[in-house]
Amino acid sequence: MSKNLRELEQLQSNLEYQNNELRVFIADILPIENRNEVDMQDRLEEVENLVNTYGGIVILKHIQKRGTPDYKNYIWTWKIDEIISEMKENNANLLILGNILKPIQIHNINEKLKEIWAKAWDRVDLILKIFEKNAKTDESRLQIELASIKHMWPRIFGMSEELWSQWSWWNKWSRWKWETNTEIMKRHLLKREEFIKQELKKFEKTRKEHRKSREKKWLKTVWIVWYTNAWKSSLMNILTQKWVLAENKLFATLWTSVGKMYIENSYDKNWIFIPKKDILVNDTIWFIRDLPPSLIASFSSTLEDSIEANILLHVIDASDPKIEEKIEVVEEVLKKINATQDKIYVFNKIDLISDEKLLELKEKFIDLSPVFISTYKNKNIDKLKEIIIKKI
């Protein structure tokens, strides 16, 4: 294998990290105009949870205050030097930036980290690695690869123009070699992307047939949507008696899971008979803030089922101090994928809050007509089922 091809393989595996133990330094920027450090601490905590989910150990954290990120390195150069010194002293081997970096920024930081044999990821790099780790089906693996290609694309091709202007001293041969490598990688990724899309169409076709079959049987469907770590898998287990992994980790489940909620013959409060029926409950992927549209688009085939569901269950962590912000994140993603069905707002984890806080939430979100439950205590689940039946 030629040196050039080896370099291309290294570019292609840009998101890989082979060290057995990840000792992580987390860094981010707090804009000067936004002095709310509570928000930034919340962001850092979320990134730390992501690191823990992936299996790394956070040993250092740093917030830098400045008006705008540095164009060249995201964080000021002198601060990068300080971070490298601290990473070396504490044997850290991975620097994670809590935002989405430009291609030239992540490249420049990685160049600096070479001296201590460390690497840098941004927020999306980390999320993609978690996706890859948790992908259990052929379809989810293909979706992850497609998302990775979309994330790598601007890094590889956006870099060529940046490097062209910055490294004007390159000789003609060096420039030609860079262009050749870029073109080879471009052809390879375009070919792979087309192959993945064709394979995903096969899964899409199968899913479409399943939807037609459900329509013929008059089966109604419910889709659970949630900001990550709202314990939606626990709710899925209670509603359908179908085992799905319920862990206190971000993205513990990645693939779509469908179960049946069995409704027995019953009477409502007005003694109107309600015949037994089966309702399909669709437990699909997570939502989380600051996801780029291209990443959401990579999971479009999985989200199709969700868009065609009869109603949405928006599961919310009632104990989360950032509850309004996370509701807004989910609503924004639903808007982007044109999911406009009726919603039931389900506030979970009420066992973790006081009676006073519960009353406050009921008053604050009264316009949403929410239902407050605890999957841990199995509280108000029957009430939720009644609301689902009424909506259906």
CATH number of the domain bearing residue 381: 3.40.50.300
Q: Do residues 193 and 232 both lie within one domain? A: no
Tens of pLDDT, residue by residue over 345-358, are 999 999 999 999 99
**Are the CB atoms for 39 and 321 separated by under 8 Å?**
no
210 within domain boundaries? no
End position of a domain, from candidates 133, 154, 176: 133
pLDDT of 64 over the 60 cut: yes
**C-alpha dist (Å) from residue 79 to 48, 75, 93:** 21, 7, 17
List Cβ<8 Å contacts ≥24 apart for 382-391.
Answer: 384/239, 384/344, 384/346, 385/239, 385/261, 385/263, 386/268, 387/344, 388/222, 388/261, 388/279, 388/311, 388/313, 388/344, 389/263, 389/274, 389/279, 391/310, 391/311, 391/342, 391/344
Q: Do residues 353 and 335 both lie within one domain? A: yes
Q: Do residues 112 and 147 both lie within one domain? A: no
User: What does the pLDDT average to over 362-374?
Assistant: 94
Q: Do residues 124 and 140 both lie within one domain? A: no
Per-residue model confidence (pLDDT) at position 15: 38
CA angle centred on 316, ends 313 and 322, rounded to 5° = 150
Q: How many domains does the chain have?
A: 3
**Are the CB atoms for 162 and 155 separated by under 8 Å?**
no
- Chain-centre distance of CA 156, in angstroms? 23
End position of a domain, from candidates 117, 133, 149: 133
**Minimal CA–CA distance to 116: which of 71, 83, 68?**
83
Integer Cα distance of 208 and 305 in angstroms: 8
* Integer-rounded Cα radius of gyration of the chain: 24
213 within domain boundaries? no
Give the chain's mean pLDDT. Answer: 78
Per-residue model confidence (pLDDT) at position 8: 39
7 within domain boundaries? no
- Chain-centre distance of CA 245, in angstroms? 17
**Are the CB atoms for 92 and 83 separated by under 8 Å?**
no
1 within domain boundaries? no
The domain containing residue 153 runs over which residues? 135-198
Q: Do residues 266 and 305 both lie within one domain? A: yes
Q: Do residues 154 and 225 both lie within one domain? A: no
pLDDT of 100 over the 90 cut: no
**Are the CB atoms for 309 and 341 separated by under 8 Å?**
yes
User: For residue 86, what is the domain's CATH number?
Assistant: 3.40.50.11060
End position of a domain, from candidates 133, 159, 184: 133
Q: Do residues 98 and 141 both lie within one domain? A: no
Q: Do residues 261 and 333 both lie within one domain? A: yes
Tens of pLDDT, residue by residue over 13-61, are 443 444 458 899 999 887 766 556 677 777 888 888 889 888 899 998 8
pTM: 0.72
Q: Do residues 360 and 375 both lie within one domain? A: yes
pLDDT of 243 over the 60 cut: no
**C-alpha dist (Å) from residue 289 to 47, 258, 264, 333, 368:** 11, 25, 39, 9, 21
381 within domain boundaries? yes
123 within domain boundaries? yes
Q: Do residues 123 and 179 both lie within one domain? A: no
